């Protein structure tokens, strides 16, 4: 009996699971209006990180190539 009561206490002390990112049901309309652009940007974050990392790598490789082509005058 004690285990059942303590298990119930643990279950009741946990916070409810978070709502899915896209669900704004139940929020007041103004809050939903303010949160929508942030949620859209958060969904696109991996794409932004990929683009910026690709650009940084491309610039690094171009600089690396320029340095080594300047060293090799007879090539």
- Quick check: is 66 in a domain? yes
Provide the domain count of the chain. 1
User: Could you give the CA distance from residue 34 to residue 32 in angstroms, rounded to a whole number?
Assistant: 5
Q: What predicted TM-score, i.e. pTM, was given to this entire model?
A: 0.42
In three state form, how does the secondary structure of the chain look?
Answer: CHHHHHHHHHHHHCCCCCCCCCCCCCCCHHHHHHHHHHHHHHHHHHHHHHHHHHHHHHHHHHHHHHHHHHHCCCC
Domain assignment present for residue 68? The answer is yes
Q: Express each pLDDT in 13-57 by its tens digit.
A: 666 666 555 555 666 778 778 888 888 888 889 999 999 999 999
Range of the domain at 60: 45-75
pLDDT score of 57: 93
């Amino acid at each position: 009996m004690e285990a059942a009561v303590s298990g119930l206490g643990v279950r009741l002390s946990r916070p409810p699971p978070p709502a899915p990112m896209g669900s704004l049901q139940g929020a007041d309309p103004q809050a939903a209006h303010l949160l929508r652009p942030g949620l859209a940007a958060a969904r696109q974050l991996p794409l932004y990180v990929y683009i910026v990392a690709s650009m940084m790598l491309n610039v690094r490789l171009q600089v690396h190539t320029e340095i080594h082509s300047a060293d090799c005058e007879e090539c």
